[in-house]
Amino acid sequence: MDILKETIAQLHAENPNSLYATAIVVASVVALQLRWWQQHREFEQVYGKANYRPKYNPMSPFGFVLEDWAMARLWRDRFTIYRNSKRDLITLEPTVYGRPLLYTNSIEVVRQIGGGGTPTGWWKAPWAQLGSLYWGNNVLAVNDIEWKKYRKILQPAFNPQMYELVWNETQKLYHDMIVADQWPLLSGQTREVIHAQVFTQRLALCVILSCGFGMPLRWKEETYVGSERVNLDESIKFQADNNMLISHAPKWVLALPTEKMRYIAKCTNTLRSWFEQAIRNKRAELAEILEETQGDVDENYLKKDVFTRLVLASQADGTNRLEDSEIIGNTWSMYFAGHETTASVLAATLCLLAVHKEEQDIVLEEIQKVSEQCADETLGFDQYDSLVRTRSCFVEALRMFPAGTLVLREAREDTILHVPGIDANGRATEEALHVSKGTIIGGDMVGIQYNPRLYPNPEVFRPSRWYDSTSDDTFTAFSIGPRVCIGRKFALVEGVCFLAHLLRDFEVFPLLEKGESVEAWKERVLSRTEIKFTLSIADAPLLFKRR
């Protein structure tokens, strides 16, 4: 306030006409404040007094910059924010900046809002998708006919052949990693890893490149692209970490001559060159195949991988045709959705197993038993279904650290939501809540995974909750309904294969700092997350001992 007064006084001194300017500034501030106040009043009239008051709207740029996307606070308060609400829904009213919105920790509500394939009901509002639309329209960000078109192009690539490839590629990369990074080979030898994410991210990048895009990469292979001499892995990571800034900041901010902005430009150019080159190469490959087969291309080739299908669609006629920007947008969304997410969950699984020796023993017993039934003890994709306990550890870690944090939707019309809850006598209830057009709701994936109605004692790492899962739909952290994660099985196969190989060869322990107890390690590692576009465990310091 003092700064405002000083600025006004200075303006007056320098120029008497500044009175008009001052009046305009003050009127704008008052109008904004009134608008803010009116929005909040209307919201309270419809949905009742706020249950939760963070400073900023979690999805706003302010929330992102000033409070680690304010999601950090939702993570910190995950055991308490829904406690005083009788229904699995709260009203969240920012006290400093941003529109009020609803938040839910009910998977049943997510099922109702999670569509996006119809022109009515709930949708992914374009204002909330700026971060995902930077590279072009894509399946993650759009709605209605466009979404259906992308999903129809991409879905056939997610087939048993692809999952088998994911398994084989993960297995190959694991062995590559052991040799290239010189992991110990003699029993009892150890390896200290300060950030397990370094190798889980490399794995996830190589697997998505190979199985999603048909571009195999060896563990140590360099991925320099174009003239900028920036590594591809690094560019993707930097882009993802700074996505909010890149997609929301005005052009002049990105052109500022600071080190960070120059590096952002380099990473963006690297990725753009890579996308353009990849499209050119794929078009050339397709032309050759069409010539060789005289247009009679094998059905399996047409389902081959996501990238082939996207480039093929750019040669289609009519409404199914894709522009280059749509190929790039969809390629980016696959990278983004399929890379960091899986890598984060793998790191979290290893951390949780490091401090739950009893669970590690259960998994080892399963892996050894299943291996014994294989020729040469080589685990193949056929064994995936038998590794139930290994998969359960991955899914339980995903529950505790849900990499996809938010299913965000806006009501396109007045509608009714059926919201579950529990009454004062502990009986299950269901409320029909009238929701007005324009209301925003966040399907809070952290809230859902820690909802005691869905997962009793949610703070406990208990993989056995998943032993009897007969349907993938029970893995709620991948969302639910028509817009369920398209890469769900891809991530599960990659995670299980890598864990089965690593845990068969190595015992994992927490890597303690000097004088640190295991309890202190748990506090340092398991209670801190990093939330950018995805949620991940902040650090994963581990010690691996060769069995």
Could you tell me which residues are annotated as the binding site for heme? 485
* Closer of 100 and 487 to ligand HEM (Cβ): 487
> Taking contact as CB under 6 A, which single stretch among the options 13-21, 39-47, 92-100, 476-484 is the one that binds ligand HEM?
476-484
Element (H, E) at 442: strand 440-444
Exactly one of 487, 501, 508, 521 binds ligand HEM (CB under 6 A); that residue is 487
Q: Are 138 and 275 in contact (CB under 8 A)?
A: no
Binding string, 340-379, against ligand HEM, x = CB under 6 A? -xx--x----------------------------------
Compute the least distance from the CB of residue 7 to ligand HEM, in Å. 42
Compute the least distance from the CB of residue 84 to ligand HEM, in Å. 26
Establish if 151 lies at the interface with ligand HEM (CB under 6 A).
yes
User: Can you read off the two tokens belonging to residue 196?
Assistant: 């397990």
CA distance 212 to 36: 45
CA distance 129 to 62: 16
Count of C-beta atoms within a 10 Å radius of residue 272: 16
- Beta-bridge partner residues of 415: 435
CA distance 83 to 476: 21
> Taking contact as CB under 6 A, which single stretch among the options 65-73, 95-103, 481-489, 539-547 is the one that binds ligand HEM?
481-489
> Taking contact as CB under 6 A, which single stretch among the options 238-246, 270-278, 321-329, 485-493 is the one that binds ligand HEM?
485-493
How many residues bind to ligand HEM according to rule CB under 6 A?
27
Establish if 139 lies at the interface with ligand HEM (CB under 6 A).
yes
Binding string, 207-236, against ligand HEM, x = CB under 6 A? -x---x------------------------
Binding string, 104-123, against ligand HEM, x = CB under 6 A? ----------x---------
Helix (H, G, I), strand (E, B) or coil at 183: coil
Q: Of residues 409-448, which lie at the interface with ligand HEM (CB under 6 A)?
A: 445
Establish if 170 lies at the interface with ligand HEM (CB under 6 A).
no
User: 108: closest CA among 541, 547, 480?
Assistant: 480
Exactly one of 129, 242, 333, 392 binds ligand HEM (CB under 6 A); that residue is 333
Establish if 407 lies at the interface with ligand HEM (CB under 6 A).
yes
Establish if 477 lies at the interface with ligand HEM (CB under 6 A).
yes
CA distance 52 to 100: 10
Q: Of residues 516-535, which lie at the interface with ligand HEM (CB under 6 A)?
A: none
Q: How many CA atoms lie within 13 A of 436 on its CB side?
A: 8
Establish if 334 lies at the interface with ligand HEM (CB under 6 A).
yes
**Helices within 303-438 (DSSP H only):** 306-313, 324-354, 357-372, 388-400
Number of alpha helices (DSSP H) and beta strands (DSSP E) in the chain:
22, 14
CA distance 72 to 64: 9
Q: Are 460 and 449 in contact (CB under 8 A)?
A: no
Establish if 479 lies at the interface with ligand HEM (CB under 6 A).
yes
* Closer of 178 and 499 to ligand HEM (Cβ): 499
CA distance 510 to 515: 13
Compute the least distance from the CB of residue 116 to ligand HEM, in Å. 7
User: Can you read off the two tokens belonging to residue 544?
Assistant: 């691996």
Binding string, 239-258, against ligand HEM, x = CB under 6 A? --------------------
Establish if 338 lies at the interface with ligand HEM (CB under 6 A).
yes
Establish if 398 lies at the interface with ligand HEM (CB under 6 A).
yes
Cβ-closest position to ligand HEM: 487
Compute the least distance from the CB of residue 327 to ligand HEM, in Å. 14
Compute the least distance from the CB of residue 243 to ligand HEM, in Å. 15
CA distance 26 to 110: 42
Compute the least distance from the CB of residue 407 to ligand HEM, in Å. 4
Establish if 395 lies at the interface with ligand HEM (CB under 6 A).
no
User: 215: closest CA among 285, 313, 290?
Assistant: 285
User: 441: closest CA among 421, 475, 423, 416?
Assistant: 416
Establish if 58 lies at the interface with ligand HEM (CB under 6 A).
no
The gap from C-alpha 406 to its chain's centroid, in whole angstroms, comes to 9
Compute the least distance from the CB of residue 41 to ligand HEM, in Å. 30
* Closer of 394 and 544 to ligand HEM (Cβ): 394
Establish if 483 lies at the interface with ligand HEM (CB under 6 A).
yes
User: 69: closest CA among 80, 54, 83, 53?
Assistant: 54
Residue 415 φ/ψ, nearest 5 degrees:
-155, 175
User: Which is it for strands 101-104 and 440-444: parallel, antiparallel or unpaired?
Assistant: parallel
Residue 498 φ/ψ, nearest 5 degrees:
-65, -45
CA distance 100 to 440: 8
Compute the least distance from the CB of residue 232 to ligand HEM, in Å. 17
Identify the burial level of 33 via C-beta atoms within 10 angstroms of its C-beta, where 0-12 means exposed, 13-18 middle and 19 or more buried: exposed
Establish if 165 lies at the interface with ligand HEM (CB under 6 A).
no
Compute the least distance from the CB of residue 114 to ligand HEM, in Å. 6
CA distance 77 to 7: 39
DSSP secondary structure letter of residue 317? -
Establish if 404 lies at the interface with ligand HEM (CB under 6 A).
yes
Sign of CA dihedral 326, 332, 337, 338: positive
* Closer of 47 and 307 to ligand HEM (Cβ): 307
Exactly one of 384, 490, 498, 509 binds ligand HEM (CB under 6 A); that residue is 490
**Helices within 197-298 (DSSP H only):** 197-207, 213, 232-241, 243-248, 251-254, 259-293
Exactly one of 72, 322, 327, 337 binds ligand HEM (CB under 6 A); that residue is 337
Note the residues at the interface with ligand HEM (CB under 6 A).
114, 139-140, 151, 208, 212, 333-334, 337-338, 341-342, 345, 398, 403-404, 407, 445, 477-479, 483, 485-487, 490-491
